[in-house]
Chain A
Amino acid sequence: ETGVTQSPTHLIKTRGQQVTLRCSSQSGHNTVSWYQQALGQGPQFIFQYYREEENGRGNFPPRFSGLQFPNYSSELNVNALELDDSALYLCASSLDGGQGGDTQYFGPGTRLTVL
């Protein structure tokens, strides 16, 4: 069974640039959730995708957008990067599709630094 993978591992960008982060879900999972984790904080929910549709969104501005592909892998895009976007970005996959109660399994994360 293949776990959740994310790429790249680390990324350095400058303010105003755009970035794309990628996630491959665990084998057999159809739901991907993205979280942002600032240093010393718990992860904060960005949005979730279920079968290629957005299935919920946290309190993040529209410059955070995403996609899910037919193989259930996903991308997180962030436009007009700000210094506060520097964080660990986590992807989690699950099999609930919004039904609740199902465990989310996390990838290793992408460390984004905005200068």
Chain B
Amino acid sequence: EDQVTQSPEALRLQEGESSSLNCSYTVSGLRGLFWYRQDPGKGPEFLFTLYSAGEEKEKERLKATLTKKESFLHITAPKPEDSATYLCAVQDPSGNTPLVFGKGTRLSVIA
């Protein structure tokens, strides 16, 4: 049973064309929802942590929001250097603290 589902799997945008990535989760008792950026062959780079519904965080062209069942990563006026895979993860509430990841959204921004 998938706990974290990301959509779309892949997204191709023109430079400057804003869009949103979705992360839906089924775990209850969320301890934290995390967004990471991953370039090919490299480790995930931390972007945001969200803890409660209604919370929002921003960094440059990225803005992350959280509801009770999903999170959105909004990308405003993207540039080619924003091209990467964006991973969403939730913290397992079962007592240990591993991250449970979705499969990611591969974003391509074309100049």
Interface residues, chain A, CB within 8 Å of chain B?
4, 6, 31, 33, 35, 40-45, 48, 55-56, 58, 88, 90, 92, 94, 96, 98-109, 111
Q: State the interface size on chain B (CB cutoff 8 A).
A: 27
> A-B pairs with the 6 shortest C-beta distances?
A56-B96, A42-B101, A45-B98, A106-B43, A100-B31, A101-B32
What separation, in Å, do the CA atoms of A31 and B49 have in the docked complex? 18
Interface pair A48/B97, CB less than 8 Å apart: yes
Interface pair A106/B91, CB less than 8 Å apart: no
- Chain A residue numbers with a CB within 8 Å of B45 are 106
What separation, in Å, do the CA atoms of A88 and B101 have in the docked complex? 15
B34 CB–A CB distance under 8 Å: yes
Interface residues, chain B, CB within 8 Å of chain A?
4, 31-32, 34, 36, 41-46, 49, 51, 87, 89, 91, 93, 95-104
Interface pair B31/A43, CB less than 8 Å apart: no
Given A100-B32, A105-B46: A42 and B41 interface contact (C-beta under 8 Å): no
- Chain A residue numbers with a CB within 8 Å of B31 are 100-101
- Chain B residue numbers with a CB within 8 Å of A100 are 31-32, 91, 93, 97
Q: B47 to nearest A CB, angstroms?
A: 10
Interface centre among B4, B34, B41, B96 (most CB of A within 10 A): B96
What separation, in Å, do the CA atoms of A3 and B35 have in the docked complex? 18
Q: Can you give 17 A-B contacts (C-beta < 8 A)?
A: A4-B43, A6-B43, A33-B97, A42-B104, A45-B99, A88-B41, A99-B97, A100-B31, A100-B32, A101-B49, A101-B91, A102-B32, A104-B34, A104-B99, A106-B36, A109-B41, A109-B42
Q: B63 to nearest A CB, angstroms?
A: 18
Q: A90 to nearest B CB, angstroms?
A: 6
Interface pair B98/A103, CB less than 8 Å apart: no
What separation, in Å, do the CA atoms of A102 and B87 have in the docked complex? 17
What separation, in Å, do the CA atoms of A44 and B96 have in the docked complex? 14
Interface pair B96/A98, CB less than 8 Å apart: yes
What separation, in Å, do the CA atoms of A40 and B85 have in the docked complex? 10
Given A101-B31, A101-B32: A43 and B44 interface contact (C-beta under 8 Å): yes
Interface pair A106/B44, CB less than 8 Å apart: yes
